[in-house]
């Protein structure tokens, strides 16, 4: 099991698994597309995964029928000072 040490915005340090980060990111993406459809007519969905051999987070998503993929290098040292929503925020800004 791959485990990361993340610091929440409350500055409390906690141990999180990659699966917890994936689950959180998927939930945020679902909410993102629900709001996007209601406010802008953008229909979409996405699924997050971790490719351990390449140390990458991958989000495969569809917007208005177009399939897209977003990846980001993901190493535990990058997340020590970040909160659980770091991956979602990166996807939201870059994808």
> Residue 60 above 80 pLDDT?
yes
d(CA 23, CA 18): 9
Say yes or no to pLDDT of 92 above 60.
Answer: yes
Q: What is the pTM of this model?
A: 0.75
The count of structural domains within the chain is 1
Strand, helix or coil at 83?
coil
With 60 as the cut, is the pLDDT of residue 88 above it?
A: yes
In order of 38, 59, 67, 86, the CA distances from 43 in angstroms are 9, 16, 12, 23
Residues of the domain holding 73? 3-94
């Amino acid at each position: 099991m791959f485990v990361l040490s993340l610091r929440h915005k409350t500055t409390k340090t906690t141990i999180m698994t990659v699966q917890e980060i994936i689950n959180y990111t998927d939930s945020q993406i679902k909410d993102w597309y629900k709001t996007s459809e209601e406010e802008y007519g953008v229909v979409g969905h996405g699924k997050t995964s971790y490719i351990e051999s390449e140390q990458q987070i991958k989000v495969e998503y569809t917007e208005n029928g177009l399939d897209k993929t977003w990846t980001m290098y993901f190493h535990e040292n990058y997340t020590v000072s970040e909160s659980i929503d770091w991956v979602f925020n990166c996807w939201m800004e870059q994808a």
